C-alpha cells in the first residue's frame, strides 16, 4: 500500500492552474469588453441557464464532498451517491456546471475556455489519484473505473 493521498487529492494544483488561467482570461475579457460577449442571447436567458448550472453544481459539490469525507475518514472507496454517476464528481461539478455557469453569468465566450482548460489540467493531473486508487483498492477500483466515467456523468452504465 502506498502512502495515503491527501483528502484534497489534486484539487490544490488544479485550483491554482485554473485560477491563474481564469485571471488572465478575465483581464483580457475586461480589456476587450465587447469582443467576447455572447451575442443575440437575451441576458435573462443567460442568467437563467447560469443559475441552474451553478445551483446544480453547488448541490453536486456539497453531496460529493459529504460522501467523500465519510469514505476518506473510514479508508473506504466511495462508489455511491454522486460517485455512482461519475468517479470524480467534485471536479465534475466545477468543470461541467459551476465554471460554465459563471462564464454565462458574465456573458463571455472567452470565459467558456476556463472549464476546458481545467478539464485538460484534470486529465493530466488525475493520474496521481487514479494510480493511488488502483494500488490501494485493486480490482474493486478497476471494476468501478470500467463502469463509471471520470468526469462526464455515466447516465448509461459503461459495459
Kindly report, residue by residue over 86-104, the tens digit of the pLDDT.
999 999 999 999 999 999 9
Alpha-carbon span 8 to 6, nearest angstrom: 5
Domain with 67, as residue range(s), is 11-147
Output the CA angle 80-126-72, nearest 5 degrees: 40
Structural domain includes residue 159 = no
DSSP letter at 6?
Answer: P
Q: How is residue 85 written as a grid cell?
A: 454517476
Tens of pLDDT along 57-90? 999 999 999 999 999 999 999 999 999 999 999 9
Phi, psi dihedrals of residue 108, rounded to the nearest 5°: -125, 125
Q: What's the pLDDT at 33?
A: 86
Structural domain includes residue 6 = no
Question: How many domains does the chain contain in total?
Answer: 1
Structural domain includes residue 109 = yes
Structural domain includes residue 22 = yes
Q: How is residue 19 written as a grid cell?
A: 485560477
Beta-bridge partner residues of 37: 108
Structural domain includes residue 29 = yes
Structural domain includes residue 88 = yes
Per the CB < 8 A criterion, the answer to whether 138 and 8 are in contact is no
Kind and range of the H or E element at 45? helix 43-74
Q: What's the pLDDT at 112?
A: 96
What is the band of 39 on the pLDDT scale with cuts at 50, 70, 90? confident
Structural domain includes residue 93 = yes
Alpha-carbon span 71 to 81, nearest angstrom: 12
pTM across the whole model: 0.92
Alpha-carbon span 14 to 117, nearest angstrom: 10
* Residue 95: Cβ-neighbour burial (10 angstroms; 0-12, 13-18, 19+): buried
Structural domain includes residue 155 = no
Alpha-carbon span 147 to 157, nearest angstrom: 6
Amino acid at each position: 500500500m502506498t502512502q495515503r493521498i491527501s483528502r484534497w487529492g489534486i484539487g490544490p494544483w488544479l485550483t491554482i492552474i485554473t485560477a491563474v488561467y481564469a485571471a488572465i482570461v478575465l483581464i483580457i475579457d475586461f480589456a476587450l469588453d465587447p469582443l467576447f460577449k455572447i451575442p443575440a442571447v437575451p441576458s435573462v436567458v443567460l442568467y437563467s441557464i447560469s443559475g441552474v448550472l451553478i445551483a446544480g453544481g453547488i448541490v453536486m459539490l456539497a453531496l460529493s464532498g459529504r460522501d467523500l469525507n465519510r469514505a476518506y475518514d473510514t479508508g473506504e472507496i466511495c462508489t455511491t451517491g454522486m460517485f455512482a454517476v461519475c468517479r470524480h464528481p467534485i471536479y465534475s461539478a466545477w468543470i461541467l456546471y459551476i465554471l460554465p455557469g459563471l462564464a454565462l453569468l458574465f456573458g463571455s465566450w472567452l470565459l467558456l475556455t476556463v472549464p476546458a482548460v481545467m478539464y485538460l489540467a484534470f486529465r493530466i493531473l488525475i493520474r496521481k489519484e487514479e494510480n493511488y486508487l488502483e494500488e490501494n483498492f485493486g480490482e474493486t477500483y478497476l471494476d468501478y473505473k470500467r463502469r463509471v466515467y471520470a468526469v462526464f456523468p455515466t447516465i448509461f452504465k459503461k459495459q
